[in-house]
Amino acid sequence: MARSAFTSRTTTRRIAPPSPKMVLFGDWVKTQSMLSTIDITMGIGVSAGQQAFAKRLKRLVRKHIRTNGAGISPAWPPVSSRYAKYKTKKGGDPFDLYKMSGLYYNSIDVWSNGTNWYVGLKANTRHSGKKARYTLAQIARILESGSSVRNIKARPLWTPSLKQLGGTAGVKALVLWHVRDKIYKAYRIRPKITI
């Protein structure tokens, strides 16, 4: 019997696994620098956005006080006739609903605790008079929601002002804008960031 060219022996060949080679392209020094400092840059952007929003809210609230709530709905009710007489006697204008001495207006401030930004009246600010029973923050709450005990009608100031600036969505949009701006200025890239 003649031997065939094909035998029953199998031949195996070892196939070497592919060894991928990674070629870096682009500015990897810049990328590594960005990745090591992006959290700091974003924190600076968040802080800048909060501060900008707080300053806008302060300007708007003070404008509403100067204009007696023009642009706020519903319109503020006038003071009672009894309080109008008292205010006139003290040298105030009964038509300036949020102004008597100017302390409330001038005490509206923007400040930071290092992490967050705030706008409003600091908790312990008081009138300098002997009869100063309430802090300005307490007076602000009374004016904002009214008091049936003291016959003071509600004159909402802070809530409508915040709503006019877009509320929480407005804060988020301004913070995002500042974060993107800080990243662009630091690394010259335009990121897509959402909250």
Q: Which parts of the chain register pLDDT below 50?
A: none
Does residue 21 belong to any structural domain of this protein? no
Q: Note whether 117 and 55 are within 8 A (CB).
A: no
The pLDDT assigned to 167 comes to 95
Q: How far is CA 7 from CA 1, 2, 10, 12, 13, in A?
A: 13, 11, 8, 14, 16
Q: Note whether 57 and 108 are within 8 A (CB).
A: no
Which residues span the domain enclosing 74? 34-187
Hunting for tokens 């802080």 — which residue is that? Answer: 47
The pLDDT assigned to 135 comes to 86
Does residue 15 belong to any structural domain of this protein? no
Q: How far is CA 176 from CA 146, 167, 189, 192, 193, in A?
A: 36, 14, 15, 10, 7
Does residue 44 belong to any structural domain of this protein? yes
SS3 assignment, position 35: helix
> 70-90 in b/e burial notation, b at 16+ Cβ within 10 A?
eebeeebeebeeeeeeebeee
Does residue 23 belong to any structural domain of this protein? no
- H or E segment to which residue 188 belongs: none
Does residue 180 belong to any structural domain of this protein? yes
pTM over 0.85: no
The pLDDT assigned to 76 comes to 87
The pLDDT assigned to 180 comes to 93
Q: How far is CA 103 from CA 58, 97, 175, in A?
A: 15, 13, 31
The pLDDT assigned to 158 comes to 94
Does residue 4 belong to any structural domain of this protein? no
Phi and psi at residue 3, in whole multiples of 5°? -80, 135
The pLDDT assigned to 127 comes to 73
The pLDDT assigned to 56 comes to 97
Does residue 17 belong to any structural domain of this protein? no
Does residue 20 belong to any structural domain of this protein? no
**Number of domains the chain contains:** 1
The pLDDT assigned to 11 comes to 65
The pLDDT assigned to 181 comes to 95
